[in-house]
Amino acid sequence: MSLVPIAALGQRYGVSVRGIDAIIKLACIIHNTDYWRKGRTLEKLGIKDLSVEELTHYVETGERE
């Protein structure tokens, strides 16, 4: 599910993600799938350890520093 990375980024950088978490939980129930485990993760996307500056650069340029 493509919302998991959005929620994970918020959690990683200290932003409240209660609303998106609720949506993901509902999707997990409806589809009987654990999207937190099976969906896209920051680790799978290769951005788990990026700082805010590194992530911003990556999003803007498509290049890792």
- Each domain of the chain, given as residue ranges in start order, spans 3-61
User: What type of residue sits at position 44?
Assistant: K
Q: What is the pLDDT of residues 6-62, one digit of tens each?
A: 899 999 999 999 999 999 999 999 999 999 989 888 998 999 999 999 999 999 999
**CATH for 3-61, among 2.60.120.10, 1.10.1040.10, 3.30.365.10, 1.10.630.10?**
1.10.1040.10
- Whether residue 63 contacts residue 52, with contact meaning beta carbons closer than 8 Å, is answered with no
For residue 1, is pLDDT > 70?
no
At 3 the pLDDT is 85
- pTM (predicted TM-score): 0.74
Helices 3-12 and 18-31, packing angle to 10 deg? 140
Q: Per the structure block, which two tokens stand in for 41?
A: 């993760």
Looking at residue 64, the DSSP 8-state letter turns out to be -
At 2 the pLDDT is 78
